[in-house]
Amino acid sequence: MEIVIRADEHEVATTVADIVGGYVERGNAILGLATGSSPLGSYQELARRCREGELDFSTASAFLLDEYVGLPKDHPQSYFSVIRSEFVDHVNLDPTRVLSPNGEAGDIAGEGRRYDAAIAAAGGVDVQLLGIGTDGHIGFNEPGSALTSRTRVKTLTEQTRKDNARFFDGPEDVPHHVLTQGLGTINEAGHLVMIALGAGKADAIAAAAEGPLSAFCPASVMQWHRHVTVVIDEPAASKLKLADYYKYALANKPAWQSF
């Protein structure tokens, strides 16, 4: 796991865009897209590069991490809609090649298996963007999730529903259930890129990167992965015991070694 500590949100976004852009430039990239506030700056930077002719997404495809159960696709807060308004509509990525779990599926339990099969059939995700919740969740894998879990239905905690209420008319409008890629599914991506901003994420980042591997902090499953880059700002890094070493290692990184 490589911890990259940047001065501010802009530098975080630039670093993440450099990583994702590298995969896009190779052609036929399979991107794993996350919603939420953490990746917004990175999406804006990727869109700028596309708009200015630096990146071409025309051969890329994408899979989303999760979707609310029972929320229509055209609802403004469905992740199907959100990822299009925040990212896909601003780059030349074919919207029909951006797939998400179907929260309206008649067989919700079977939808998880279908989605995992679709990812596998595409050849797997090359680079997966991730945010992290204040309780250490990634995707909607709440604390207590099995570290080898697959895409499935999860019940949101009340805290997560309260955190997401700002996007709805009120907490009562936030669905209780979601379809989310499991921790085992997420860990099959070739490269995990976690983004965290602000002091409110500092405890979660410290637990994920330096704490024990535990279902109590779902993001700690990244410690098992062969290729992880955690890109955070100074406030989000404030609880890391080895922050000085991470900065030293980055400053002395071999010129040939990429993220």
Mean pLDDT by 10 residues, the chain (259 residues): 98 98 98 96 98 98 97 94 97 97 93 97 98 94 95 90 87 92 98 98 98 98 98 98 98 93
- The CATH number of whichever domain residue 239 belongs to comes to 3.40.50.1360
- Cβ atoms < 10 Å from Cβ of 16: 27
Catalytic residue among 9, 111, 126, 137: 137
67 assigned to active site: no
Does some domain include residue 258? no
pLDDT reported for residue 187 = 97
- Residue 257 included in any domain: no
pLDDT of residue 116: 98
18 annotated active-site: no
Q: Which member of 9, 135, 191, 233 is catalytic? A: 135
Q: Is 142 a catalytic residue?
A: yes
Instruction: Give the H or E element holding residue 177.
Output: strand 177-180
CA–chain centroid gap for 17, Å, is 13
Compute the distance between CA of residue 219 and CA of residue 132 in angstroms, rounded to an integer: 7
What is the model's pLDDT at position 109? 86
Residue 166 is predicted with a pLDDT of: 87
Residue 85 forms part of a structural domain? yes
pLDDT at 42: 98
Residue 259 lies in a domain: no
Contact 218, 184 (CB under 8 A): no
Q: According to the model, what pLDDT value does residue 171 have?
A: 85
Q: Which of 9, 45, 126, 142 is catalytic?
A: 142
Residue 50 lies inside a defined structural domain of this protein: yes
pLDDT at 104: 95
Catalytic, out of 45, 66, 67, 126:
66
Q: How many domains does the chain have?
A: 1
- Give, in order, the Cα–Cα distances in Å from 228 to each of 9, 159, 165, 214, 255: 19, 27, 30, 17, 19
Tell me if 45 is assigned to some domain. yes
Label the pairing between strands 191-196 and 228-233.
parallel
Domain that holds residue 117: 2-252
The 3-state DSSP class for residue 200 equals helix
Which contiguous run of DSSP H or E holds residue 153? strand 152-155
Task: Answer yes or no: is 13 within a domain.
Answer: yes
Active site residue 2: no
